[in-house]
Structure 1
Amino acid sequence: MESAGEQTTPDSDRGCIVETEAHTGKRLENTLAKKLKALTGQVLPTLKRGDLARYFPSSDERIIEYDIDSLVYEARSPFQKIQIMHSKTLGNMLILDELQNIAESDLIYTETLMGRGIENYEGKEICILGGGDGALLYELLKEKPKHVVMLEIDELVMQACNKYLNSICGDVLEKRKTDQYEIVVGDCVEYMKKFIAEGRKFDYVFGDLTDIPISGAPIGECWDFIRTILEHSFMLLKPDGKYLTHGNGTTCLESLELFEEQLRLLKPKVKFTTSKAFVPSFMEEWLFYQVTFA
């Protein structure tokens, strides 16, 4: 993300030496190589430079090289930078603020999140928080629910995915309201408050929003947001309802434990189970949570 209030100085104040992107990249590469060699005795492989971004972080902040061969789409919405890149092995990939989100290869992500073959969605009322790529909505509608409402803040993400990722979302992002579902464009927290005030209840609430932060303590804006989502979600659930969400990579043990601590602090009390899946575009195993009232 961009830093707010960052100040820069004119080139003349730096002795008229202007560092190019190539210089910056090479300097970073050399620094990483030296640190890696000092820690492990290994030398960092040569980073491939070019017009396309090919390196993205894993959940535990390792650098992964992707076989990206083209930039399909790029725009900046009021909320985030949106890119769709094409990978030779993974297909089109949605990248938000330089982080990989979902690719055409990632049906396993959606199926594990929804517990396909385990959960019964037929005739159920469902709320999706986020889910702007449309994949979860598309797969849920195959299970014949009574109705699904999806709360997504970024219209531009949906437009991009509808055009370039329709292999995972079908045509569900073509319309904002049908007999089977409604897509509400706006802040999900505000609409959750509205639903709570109306006494609206759901059989399932999906948290398809931000990842669990990598941090040493559950403090800061992201953790506050996660707590708000959890508290409001359980106010929307029926007594036998279930909250389903993704967590983080299974190697992020500290962050996952912090999230589970937040679950244990919820009132009324809840209980949870987890499931795992290797997500192709993440190139790692991911953890998913299934949470119910205790």
Structure 2
Amino acid sequence: MTTWFNETLYPGFRQSHAIKKVLFEGKSKYQKVKLFESGHFGRILTLDGVVQCTESDEYVYHEMLTHLPIMAHGKVQSVLIVGGGDGGILEEVLKHKSVKRVTMVEIDDMVIKVAKKYLPKICGKAFEDKRTNLIVGDGAKWVAETNERYDLIIVDRPDPIGPATVLFSKAFYRNCQRVMKPGAILVAQNGVPHMQGPELTDAVKLFQQIWAHSGTYLAVVPTYVCGFMSLTWASDNDITDVDPRKVFQRFARANLKGLNYYNPELHFGAFALPNFVARLLPAPKKKAAAKRKTR
């Protein structure tokens, strides 16, 4: 008889995966961690009963949270990753030879250990890279106390439950702004708009209180069911106002290998929002007219 994993994140709806073999199951100080072998999606990591990543489609989420802001910025050398214990974001960031230092702050050491042992297809050798500064600790505390400054902050947060709740707070993002260099970019995941619309609205409203520019772009991750995945961004610069020729040039210079989702054409297409998503976004802050400047 087939055993099934049932994710019930959304009331009245579930997705199921056949479990071929459970590879790890445990409870850390913070959450229940489970990793199992499925069918088409390969190995699947879940936290508190919610799918975090799969070997089959992790590249969509990790590539779009990484390469799009790096290409929009153009000169990223220092990166902070908050969360991301599976190592997927870290592995993508380190594909950029221009990046000199990556600090990753993950609160749950169990997730890191599981990823190293069972998810090499996702994290590769990222944890062993000499540019990696791995901190097992509280990301919110880190941004409140560190003296380091970053060109890019990637908040690889799960849903706003349990230990991740603080990663949706105004105090956390005020502290993120504190550690960002001039022109730096912050990106974070904000769930599926079709099912979590208010979460997206609240996030952009919050960002508008802190940064001059903010918004969302979209990607489609099969196991993040119910349509588009929203990835929110914030910066003192408008990252949608970048000369396309520069993005294509940066992409060519980066010489990234083995990408399965991100490309320069998709970079700009990701900012095109369906009407139902656009209506979830608060109106942008009104500003005095200024000379337009592209990066």
Structure 2 unaligned regions, length at least 5: 238-295
The answer for the alignment partner of 1:64 in structure 2 is 15
Select 2:203's aligned residue among 256, 259, 266: 259
Matched position secondary structure for 2:79: strand
Structure 1 Cα separation of the partners of residues 130 and 20 of structure 2: 40
Change (3 A) 1:224 1:109: closer
Q: Which amino acid aligns with 1:201?
A: R
Partner residue, 1:244: 187
Q: CA deviation at 1:241?
A: 0.3
Deviation at 1:54, TM superposition (A): 2.1
1:110 corresponding residue in structure 2? 62
Moved more, 277-286 or 163-172: 277-286
Question: Does the alignment pair 1:281 with 2:223?
Answer: yes
- Structure 1 residues 179, 212: CA separation in 2 closer, same or farther (over 3 Å shift)? same
TM-score (structure 2 length as normaliser)? 0.71
Correspondence for 2:139: 188
Give structure 1 stretches of 5+ with no counterpart.
1-49, 214-220
Once structures 1 and 2 are overlaid, which stretch shifts more, 152-161 or 113-122?
A: 113-122
Distance in 2 of aligned mates of 1:293 and 1:135:
27
* 1:75-113 per-position Cα deviation (integer Å, ceiling 9, x unaligned): 111111100022201110110011110111220111111
Matched, 1:134 2:82: no
CA contact (8 A) 1:60 1:249 kept: no
Of the structure 1 ranges 230-239 and 55-64, higher mean CA displacement relative to structure 2 is found in 55-64
Query: Match of 1:63, as an amino acid?
Result: R
Letter in 2 for 1:231: R
CA RMSD after TM alignment: 2.3
Secondary structure of the 1:65 match is strand
Aligned counterpart, 2:42: 91
Residue 224 of structure 1: how far off its partner (Å): 7.6
- The structure number with the bigger radius of gyration is 1
1:226 aligns with 2:169: yes
CA displacement at 1:68 relative to structure 2: 2.9
Change (3 A) 1:227 1:108: same
Shift of residue 118 of structure 1?
3.4
On the 8 A contact 1:121/1:143 being kept in 2, the answer is no
Instruction: Quote how far apart the aligned CAs of 1:256 are.
Output: 1.2
Q: Once the two structures are aligned, what percentage of the paired residues are identical?
A: 23
**Does 1:156 find its partner at 2:110?**
yes
Distance of 2:36 and 2:102 partners within structure 1? 29
TM-score scaled by length of structure 1:
0.71
- Aligned residue in 2 for 1:202: 150
SS of the residue corresponding to residue 66 of structure 1 reads: strand
State the shift of 1:227 in Å: 2.0
For 1:185 and 1:82, how far apart are their aligned partners in 2?
A: 16
Asked if 1:78 is matched to 2:78, the reply is no
Q: Distance in 2 between matches of 1:126 and 1:209?
A: 16
- TM-aligned CA deviation for residue 129 of structure 1: 0.5
Distance 1:60 1:257 in 2: 20
Look up the SS of the partner of 2:126 in the other structure.
coil
Q: 2-side partners of 1:53 and 1:273: how far apart?
A: 37
What count of residue pairs does the alignment treat as equivalent?
230
